[in-house]
Amino acid sequence: MTDDELVALARQARDAAYAPYSSFHVGAAVKLRDGRVFSGCNVENAAYGLCNCAERTALFSAVAAGARPGDIERMAVVADTAGPISPCGACRQVMLELGGEGLAVVLANMNGARTLTTAGELLPGGFRFDS
Ligand SMILES: O=c1ccn([C@H]2C[C@H](O)[C@@H](CO)O2)c(=O)[nH]1
Ligand SMILES: [Zn+2]
């Protein structure tokens, strides 16, 4: 699967965003090394602190289907931002745990802007029990 296809899946997932409070719709797609792909959108709640980002929805869906650290090859995130979306700190920590420092992360917007980074670049010094 190409990055174009992974971003297209993230855009499709974004259509399902439940964001009545922020009206900020985000989509994400995660590709496993075995070829399986999972996607997710942000899901908000009237109790604002319960809002779940698209990145974590997609990553947690992969884990719920059996994926474990080391199984994730690549992920893409897309939102209607000026430049490529910049994931929040909580999602960066989850990306690091589940994908490792080398996880490739494609950050995109709705106008075709795109950047390629890694979970390690997104969160240097992230929490680990053996740190
Ligand atoms: O990278 C991001 C940043 C924000 N959001 C969601 C959380 C909330 O529903 C809304 C506004 O922060 O966007 C994501 O899903 N991913
Ligand atoms: Zn987040």
In sequence order, which residues have a C-beta less than 8 Å from that of residue 19 and are 6 or more positions away?
25, 26, 42, 44
Interval 27-50: pLDDT, tens? 999 999 999 999 999 999 999 999
State the chain's maximal CA–CA distance in angstroms.
41
Residues 6+ apart with CB under 8 A from 3: 74, 76, 106, 114, 116
**Ranges of each domain in the chain:** 3-122
Residue 47 confidence (pLDDT): 98
Q: Report the CATH architecture of 3-122.
A: 3-Layer(aba) Sandwich (3.40)
Beta strands per DSSP E along the chain = 26-32, 37-41, 72-79, 104-109, 114-118
Q: Is there an atom of ligand 1 within 6 Å of 90 CB?
A: no
The ipTM of this complex is 0.99
Residue 55 among the catalytic residues: yes
Binding site listing for Zn(2+) = 53, 88, 91
- pTM of the prediction? 0.98
CA 81 to chain centre: 15
